[in-house]
Amino acid sequence: MKIQTVLGLAAALLATQAVFGDTTIGSLNDTTNSSSGHTYLGQTFTAPTGVAFINSVSMVLHGPQEGGSNGNWEIYNYDAGANTLGTLLDTAPVSVYSESPVLPYTQAFNTPVTPGNHYALLVNWGNTDTAGGYFSSNSYYSGGTTILSTDGSTPVVFNNYDMAFEVTFAQVPEPALLGVIAPLMLLVRRRRAS
């Protein structure tokens, strides 16, 4: 009886890891092109099915030729049809130093999203800055595109280009799995109480 309980718990934990695992979109691999001299730059994206929160974001960025630059990560709702940034959902500071080496910068978030909705991930320098980011001239991500701005308000869309970026999401728990885990947890609780 104990072996069956342990095997059942092990199977439930393995299933939990598969269901609650992270989903990542984008790629940090293509750093063939660099863009700088913008107030902000970033990537639009679509939240995949089955996700609930943005766990983290990454972009391959570079600083100015000398010193460093301070800016903010910003996550917005994005209206792809009107090409407008919507509500600012989350923000965090980012500091980027020197022009080399080429590094991905990562920030943890806990930002709620709705699957299928469009969002924009920006690095906003607050003014026209020589810091920038890397992008691919071959679009590899079909759920969005590179956007940037030189005036701080009007996004310019670069179709068929994608930033070197990643967005990692936490998945929504499967209701059916919760129905399996809850009885197992009760069983373990009863055993401990005995």
- Main-chain dihedrals φ then ψ at residue 159, nearest 5 degrees: -60, 150
**Arch. (CATH architecture) of 23-174:** Sandwich (2.60)
Say how far apart CA 153 and CA 39 lie, in whole Å.
9
* Residues in a beta bridge with 148: 41, 156
Say how far apart CA 117 and CA 132 lie, in whole Å.
27
Burial of 44 (0-12, 13-18, 19+ CB in 10 A): buried
**Any idea which residue has 């980011």 for tokens?**
133
Judge if pTM exceeds 0.85.
no
The answer to whether residues 120 and 44 touch, using CB atoms and an 8 Å cutoff, is yes
Say how far apart CA 127 and CA 3 lie, in whole Å.
63
* Structure confidence by residue, pLDDT tens digits, 15-25: 444 445 799 99
**Percent of the chain residues topping a pLDDT of 70:** 73
**Which two three-digit tokens encode residue 142?**
């079909």
**Any idea which residue has 């079909």 for tokens?**
142
184 or 42: whose pLDDT is higher? 42
101 upstream amide cis, omega within 30 of 0? yes
Work out the number of other CB atoms within 10 angstroms of the CB of residue 158. Answer: 18
Pairing relationship of beta strands 68-79 and 84-97 according to DSSP bridges: antiparallel
Mean pLDDT, residues 139-154 taken together: 86
Length of the chain: 194
- What is the residue extent of each domain of the chain? 23-174
pLDDT of 58 higher than 50 = yes
* Structure confidence by residue, pLDDT tens digits, 97-111: 766 567 799 999 999
Question: What is residue 175's predicted lDDT score, i.e. its pLDDT?
Answer: 53
Say how far apart CA 114 and CA 76 lie, in whole Å.
12
